[in-house]
């Protein structure tokens, strides 16, 4: 775990160019530099400049054409474009602004006039080239909506993510953070803190945007969490860690200049042990991971180990100082996310390496798997397949299973990756327009998988199935009406497999 840090002195010549004092600016990381965009020198104001920073060249003003006035906006890098939206500048509220990094020309993105309502101090991040914007402060106060922007060529397509009215979602907020975390192909979004109008928040939320139906959850954390809520902080992903810097503690009164670390593999908080001269307390600054410099100690996968902190303010003063936090001061380097599940997921797709076949109920092509993985994950498969001469199943050309193909495919996915498509907790879909008595797809698969989970002694899968089925019953999912065969099957399974929460 990252723990020992050091604030490094940054030598800047007095005559050197540098951004003016500001807060509410945005920063994005390029391959060789950090790009800083806009911000405000006064309350409610906005700037129209772009700066770049690298450790070898320092700050440089970047000439761009038609640069909009932007502050308290979002900015995200997708491919070779930076997209900005919202904020206090007169230009930020009317369109998504697109900075083409090849031509360095700004232009409004054509989104057919379907952009979300104006807001400031929203939080955003990128997952698989899709920009996700969460919450912010709108005309009527704080928000908790989620909008996704996908860009194709010169056109942008906004869509709002919808969640069940029964699903627990984050409270409304602004000045929070949203950070993509996880191995490539398995990213989720972590939302932390923010200001809700009457209080500073200290809650942590996980948004799974890769599920069939995006869902929110509240991860349970351990360790030394931040002692109180905060807003206007920075949250930087460094491998499998989230680094929190500073932020406002008490509205218009006190600010932090501390460092907190969240290990996102285990969801364990810790306090950063920091040496060197710390910057003054502040909020609405930027904290951005710098590209790795030649000779710099780095994490696996070439991750840099320096975070650039710039600007911010405390209501009575805005800052123009630049600081670098060395994450490898104690000899530790940022740990990249665990990609074992991703690799094993790829292995599941390798039919050419498979040596076991299953024939699901209902016919269709067999499903293939690898005996070494099956034996390692299930003691039942270990007994069946380790000595194939002793078990009829081990010698069969294709092992017959009394589970439909879609459900057994999810079962294999869980054995290989530890997760399946309803991990984040899909509940029942609306019954509008559906055939009466037909089960929700997730609930039907959970009914199929629950006996398998018990048979193969997989308590995590059993718990996931029970959660899906419990929500389906609570929300009166289609097919689970009182007296229905599915509900009776569920009650029978709950008794057979000792899952009392399903009978409450």
**Residue owning tokens 């502040």:** 282
CA distances from 183 to 76, 125, 188, 238, 336 (A): 19, 15, 9, 11, 8
Q: Which tokens is 455 given? A: 């048979």
**pLDDT tops 50 at residue 244:** yes
- Residue corresponding to tokens 């460094």: 238
Q: 386 pLDDT exceeds 90?
A: no
Q: Is the dihedral of CA 117, 120, 123, 127 positive or negative?
A: positive
Whether the pLDDT of residue 331 is over 60: the answer is no
pLDDT for 3 equals 66
Give φ, ψ of 60 to 5 degrees. Answer: -140, 135
Of 160-164, 297-301, 413-417, which gets the smallest average pLDDT?
297-301
Which is more confidently placed, 80 or 295? 80
Over 90: is that where the pLDDT of 127 sits? Answer: yes
What are the pLDDT digits (tens) for 262-282? Answer: 999 889 999 998 999 999 999
Cα–Cα–Cα angle for 285, 98, 92, rounded to 5 degrees: 55
Mean pLDDT over residues 71-91, rounded? 93
Continuous segment of H or E residues that includes residue 347: helix 340-348
pLDDT at residue 493 above 80? no
Are the beta carbons of 236 and 179 closer than 8 angstroms? yes
Residue 390: band (very low, low, confident or very high) from pLDDT cuts 50, 70, 90: low
Average pLDDT over every residue of 379-401: 73
Using the predicted structure, report yes or no on whether residue 429 has a pLDDT greater than 50: no
Angstrom distance (rounded) from CA 452 to CA 450? 5
Mean pLDDT of 84-108: 88
pLDDT digit string, tens, across residues 209-232: 988 889 999 999 999 999 889 999
Who has greater pLDDT, 466 or 197? 197
3-class DSSP state for residue 328? coil
Nearest to 232, CA basis, from 214, 250, 220: 250
Lowest mean pLDDT among 13-27, 48-62, 237-251, 484-498: 484-498
Quick one: pLDDT at residue 427? Answer: 35
Q: What is the per-residue pLDDT for 167?
A: 83
- DSSP element (H, E) containing 147: strand 141-152
pLDDT digits (tens, 9 = 90+) for 463-489: 888 777 777 776 665 566 676 777 777
DSSP string for 159-211: EE----TTS--PPPBBS-EEEEESSTTS-EEEEEEEE-SSSEEEEEEEEE-SS
Q: Dihedrals φ, ψ of 369, to 5°?
A: -150, 180
Residue 42 above 80 pLDDT?
yes
The answer to whether residue 297 scores a pLDDT higher than 60 is no
Q: How many residues does the chain have?
A: 504
Q: Which of 174, 175, 209, 171 is nearest to 190 (CA)?
A: 209
Task: Flag whether pLDDT at 394 surpasses 60.
Answer: no
Q: How far apart are CA 245 and CA 257, in angstroms?
A: 7
C-alpha span between 275 and 38 (Å, rounded): 31
Please give the share of the chain, as a percent, with pLDDT higher than 90.
Answer: 60
Q: How confident is the model at residue 334 (pLDDT cuts 50, 70, 90)?
A: low
Handedness of CA 195, 198, 202, 205 (dihedral sign): negative
Alpha helix segments (H runs only) across 398-500: 405-417, 441-455, 459-474, 485-496
Tell which wins on pLDDT, 435 or 367.
367
């Amino acid at each position: 775990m990252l723990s020992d840090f050091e604030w490094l002195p940054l030598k800047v010549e007095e005559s050197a160019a540098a951004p003016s004092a500001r807060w509410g600016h945005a920063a994005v990381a390029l391959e060789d530099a950090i790009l800083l965009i806009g911000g405000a020198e006064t309350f409610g104001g906005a700037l129209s400049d772009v700066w770049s920073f690298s450790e070898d060249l320092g700050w440089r003003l970047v000439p761009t054409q038609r640069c909009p006035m932007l502050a308290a906006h979002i900015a995200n890098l997708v491919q070779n474009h930076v997209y900005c939206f919202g904020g206090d500048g007169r230009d930020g509220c009317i369109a998504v602004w697109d900075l083409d990094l090849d031509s360095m020309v700004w232009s409004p993105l054509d989104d057919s006039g379907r952009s979300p309502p104006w807001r400031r101090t929203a939080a955003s991040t990128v997952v698989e080239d899709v920009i996700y914007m969460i919450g912010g402060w709108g005309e009527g106060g704080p928000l908790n909506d989620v909008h996704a922007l996908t860009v194709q060529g010169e056109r942008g397509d906004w869509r709002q993510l919808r969640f069940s009215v029964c699903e627990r979602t984050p409270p409304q907020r602004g000045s929070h953070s949203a950070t993509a975390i996880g191995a490539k192909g398995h990213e989720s979004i972590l939302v932390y803190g923010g200001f809700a109008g009457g209080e500073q928040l200290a809650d942590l939320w996980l948004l799974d945007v890769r599920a069939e139906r995006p869902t929110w959850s509240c991860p349970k954390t351990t360790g030394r969490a931040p002692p109180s809520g905060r807003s206007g902080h920075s949250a930087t992903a460094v491998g499998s860690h989230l680094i929190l810097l500073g932020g406002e503690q008490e509205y218009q009164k006190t600010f932090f200049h501390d460092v907190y670390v969240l290990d996102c593999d285990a969801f364990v908080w810790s306090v950063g042990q920091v040496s060197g001269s710390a910057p003054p307390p502040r909020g609405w600054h930027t904290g951005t991971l710098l590209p790795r410099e030649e000779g710099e100690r780095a994490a696996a996968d070439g991750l840099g180990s320096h975070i650039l902190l710039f600007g911010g303010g405390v209501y009575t003063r805005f800052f123009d100082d630049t600081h670098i936090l060395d994450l490898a001061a104690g000899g530790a380097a940022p740990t990249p996310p665990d990609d074992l599940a991703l690799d094993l997921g790829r292995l599941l797709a390798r039919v050419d390496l498979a040596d076991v076949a299953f024939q699901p109920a209902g016919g269709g092509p067999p499903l293939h798997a690898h005996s070494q993985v099956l034996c390692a994950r299930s003691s039942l498969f270990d007994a069946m397949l380790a000595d194939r001469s002793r078990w009829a199943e081990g010698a069969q050309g294709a092992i017959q299973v009394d589970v439909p193909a879609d459900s057994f495919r999810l079962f294999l996915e869980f054995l290989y990756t530890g997760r399946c498509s309803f991990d984040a907790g899909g509940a029942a879909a609306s019954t509008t327009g559906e055939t009466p008595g037909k089960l929700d797809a997730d609930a039907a698969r959970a009914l199929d998988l629950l006996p398998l989970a018990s048979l193969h002694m997989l308590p995590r899968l059993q718990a996931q199935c029970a959660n899906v089925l419990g929500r389906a019953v609570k929300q009166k999912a289609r097919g689970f009406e009182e007296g229905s065969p599915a509900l009776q099957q569920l009650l029978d399974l709950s008794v057979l497999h000792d899952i009392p929460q399903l009978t409450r």
